[in-house]
Amino acid sequence: MNKQNLIKITDYLWEIPKSYRADMKVPARVFASEKMLEELFRDRSMEQLINVTALPGIQKAAYAMPDAHEGYGFPIGGVAATSYPNGAISPGGIGYDINCGVRLLKSELNFEDVKNNLEKLAGELFSEIPSGVGRGGKIKLDGKKLGEVLNNGAEWAVKEGYGNKDDLNHIESDGKIENADAGAVSDHAKKRGRDQLGTLGAGNHFIEVGKVEEVFDGQIAESFGLRKNQTTVLIHTGSRGLGHQVATDYIRIMNKAMSKYKITVPDRELVCVPFSSPEGQKYFSAMAAAANFAWANRQLITWLVRKIWAKIFDGSKLSILYDVAHNIAKIEEHYTRTNTDNIQREPASSQYKSVLIVHRKGATRAFPGQPVIIPGSMGTASYVLVGTDKAMEESFGSTCHGAGRQMSRHQAKRMITVDRLKNNLKKENIIVKAGSIRGLVEEAPEAYKNIHDVVDIVDKAGIAKKVARLKPLVVIKG
């Protein structure tokens, strides 16, 4: 597999045709610049994308976003849609951190209003919001309460007083997937989640206070309630140990059940069953429950952030711009093509609509007019984009999810010194509070692809348009 196997469709969209490998059911498509393609061939993400094209019931094409990198089974930064209800559902197409996602809060205050209190704000956010490896929170849930969280997501949190009703209008799926069933979540998973609600976790999860540094589309920015120099708070976390355990449980179940449905996959992490099968239905109910847990988690963290913000800034309020999941499967209606061999683009009207199971792993929903939040690597920049009609035509209403890792954690630790990282952040006037220095170096910007390049590609390809860029002021990490 190399660049010669790719057909150029546009400057930012490439295709590996179905003829490349006998088991491909649809082509593989990659959103990238020519320069970025070189990077994509450095790891096994392209081979993994081709494996995805062999999934039972896959429609149209398997997609890789410009931030794609090697995952396990699916590449991270991948989108795959299968036919409903008999196509495959694959936990590997969602990831272990179910509904890992981002939420952006917007403030009434500008940078000038907060600049003298940033050190204090950083200190309080770090001490009040539990973060770090396996760290538990202040809220301990009994079995009944946890069941309510799993079934009702952010709606539960709002009902309990951790937010207001309007918050739910600014969350993907209103912060609750309806078919969630706490009964499909194992006792192990529940035990791991019991004390993790309202906790950030470790790894690449963070809270980032920022300011709007540049506005690209004034009209849309205004409709989003964003303006230059306005302060924002970005929350990046997921379903914690509960979601990891749900994924582990069902990958094991499907590994055993797959032969019953005569499914074979080139990589065990791609295990899947028909969505309509008992195992598929149960996984989807458990995944939805874990997704709800993640939305309740981000809602609780929002509540904590709002309390601290109001305390420091004299009762000032934070409202939610939007909350998006970037590791999830959704039942959605999309246009599909009758002839998948035809690589010529057709207008949406000449296609027909069908119900699909859309897997987004390290990819963000980007429906027309919807805010899309893209967190950058630590200390660089984050972006607000808007979903487009073109995303509906080209990528099942999906776009990128972040910068995408390009250096192993080990390599990052070897190549980046703590002092250099701290100096660079200081030069940029970014305050960092982190539980682990080791964790900090692993997440250094050099370990990631350039966020500006990634966002430029999706903007030029039209599968989301740039609205605003955010500059980090404070970063809180586990």
User: Residue 132, exposed/middle/buried by CB under 10 A (0-12, 13-18, 19+)?
Assistant: middle
| Residue 258 Cβ vs other proteins, minimum distance, rounded to whole Å | 9
| Residue 327 Cβ vs other proteins, minimum distance, rounded to whole Å | 11
Q: Three-state SS across the chain?
A: CCHHHCEEEECCEEEECHHHCCCCCCCEEEECCHHHHHHHCCCCHHHHHHHHCCCCCECCCEEEEEEEECCCCCCEEEEEEEECCCCEECHHHCCCCCCCEEEEEEEEEEHHHHHHHHHHHHHHHHHHCCCCCCCCCCCCCCHHHHHHHHHHHHHHHHHCCCCCHHHHHHCHHHHCCCCCCHHHCCHHHHHHHCCCCCCCCCCCCEEEEEEEEEECCHHHHHHHCCCCCEEEEEEEECCHHHHHHHHHHHHHHHHHHHHHHCCCCCCHHHCCEECCCHHHHHHHHHHHHHHHHHHHHHHHHHHHHHHHHHHHCCCCCEEEEEEEECEEEEEEEEEECCCCCCCCCCCHHHCEEEEEEEEEECCEECCCCCEEEECCCCCCCEEEEECCHHHHHHCCCEECCCCCECCCHHHHHHHCCHHHHHHHHHHCCCEEEECCHHHHHHCCHHHECCHHHHHHHHHHHCCCEEEEEEEEEEEEEC
Please identify, using beta-carbon distances, which residue of 189 and 386 lies nearer to other proteins: 189
Please identify, using beta-carbon distances, which residue of 96 and 283 lies nearer to other proteins: 96
| Residue 202 Cβ vs other proteins, minimum distance, rounded to whole Å | 5
278, 267, 309, 342: which is closest to 93 by C-alpha?
Answer: 267
| Residue 269 Cβ vs other proteins, minimum distance, rounded to whole Å | 5
Q: Out of 205, 401, 410, 452, which one is annotated catalytic?
A: 401
| Residue 94 Cβ vs other proteins, minimum distance, rounded to whole Å | 12
Residue owning tokens 């202040």: 138
Decide if 129 contacts 306 (C-beta within 8 A). no
| Residue 395 Cβ vs other proteins, minimum distance, rounded to whole Å | 22
| Residue 345 Cβ vs other proteins, minimum distance, rounded to whole Å | 33
Please identify, using beta-carbon distances, which residue of 17 and 132 lies nearer to other proteins: 132
Contact residues for other proteins, defined by CB under 8 A: 43, 69-73, 76, 96-97, 132-134, 188, 191-192, 201-203, 241, 244-245, 247-248, 251-252, 255-256, 259, 267-269, 271, 405-411, 436, 438
Would you call 170 a catalytic residue per the annotation? no
| Residue 420 Cβ vs other proteins, minimum distance, rounded to whole Å | 20
Angle at which helices 143-159 and 278-312 cross, to 10°:
50
| Residue 322 Cβ vs other proteins, minimum distance, rounded to whole Å | 25
Please identify, using beta-carbon distances, which residue of 74 and 156 lies nearer to other proteins: 74
Decide if 126 contacts 478 (C-beta within 8 A). no
Please identify, using beta-carbon distances, which residue of 40 and 79 lies nearer to other proteins: 40
Q: Angle at Cα 361 formed by Cα 46 and Cα 53, nearest 5°?
A: 45
What positions carry a catalytic annotation? Answer: 401
